Amino acid sequence: MVSLQNVTRFYSSGTGEVRALDGVSLQLEPGAFATVTGPSGCGKSTLLNLLGGLDHPTSGEIHVAGIPLHGAGEAELTHYRRHTLGIVFQFFNLLPAMTVSENVELPLLLRGESASTSASRVSDMLALVGLSHRAAHFPGQLSGGEMQRTAIARALVGNPALLLADEPTGNLDSANAALVCETFSKIASQKIATLIIVTHSDLVAALAPVRIHMLDGKILSQSPAGPAL
């Protein structure tokens, strides 16, 4: 489902070459739940940008749901981001003038889905994240945890094969973080999408069956160990 083969991403800087990713290989099955941890500068954002179709590797191959991202052009990457990928950000990125329901519907509007398909999909996703009762509220009327669960519903509404989350609990207190963690665990147990969360939180990292730790652009450890490549 997610496959990286010897992926590198080098940047040239004034002082030489920065090896943001330095030979990363990874295989995740469909429906897998993985967390990625590691100190600042170890390459986590670079990895997310590559999986998110926002950047190209310097070398190596990246496949998500059979799509070769390493060789994809801009049009293919835009299609990939709209149809195969969902992303959850640390600061939610909800539109304040739109209701919860309208925020969740947005990716479907961008894809040109019919109103009736959209309405039932939005209501299913709000039920999944436990926010049906908040559908008509605006983001400013929600707790941080509710905002993040709205963002998760929006990321899943298009039925993506891969859900990426970048520090999803980084801006939440522990009670709200726990509720967001519960939502991710539910998504993983129902195998709604393959889930990769980048986190500094040990609690979040411990939720996942696959835990990847990075250092200096490399995967330092993966538990349980991945298949030999």
Annotate each residue in 21-40 with x if it binds ligand ADP (CB under 6 A) or - if it does not, as one string: -----------------x-x
What is the DSSP secondary-structure string of 113-130?
--HHHHHHHHHHHHHHTT
- Using the minimum distance from each CB to ligand ADP, give the nearer residue, 13 or 120: 13
Query: Binding ligand ADP by CB under 6 A: which of 26, 34, 42, 125?
Result: 42
- Residues found in the chain: 229
- Using the minimum distance from each CB to ligand ADP, give the nearer residue, 35 or 103: 35
Shortest Å distance, C-beta 56 to ligand ADP: 13
- CA separation for the pair 70, 56 (Å, rounded): 6
ω into residue 224 within 30 of 0, thus cis?
Answer: yes
- Using the minimum distance from each CB to ligand ADP, give the nearer residue, 137 or 218: 218
Contact call for residue 20 and ligand ADP (CB under 6 A): yes
- Using the minimum distance from each CB to ligand ADP, give the nearer residue, 62 or 128: 62
ω into residue 209 within 30 of 0, thus cis?
Answer: no
Residues 6 or more apart whose Cβ sits within 8 Å of residue 10? 17, 18, 19, 20, 58
Contact in structure between 155 and 124 (CB atoms under 8 Å): no
Query: Binding ligand ADP by CB under 6 A: which of 13, 114, 116, 120?
Result: 13
> Which residues would be at the binding site for ligand ADP (CB under 6 A)?
11, 13, 18, 20, 38, 40-46
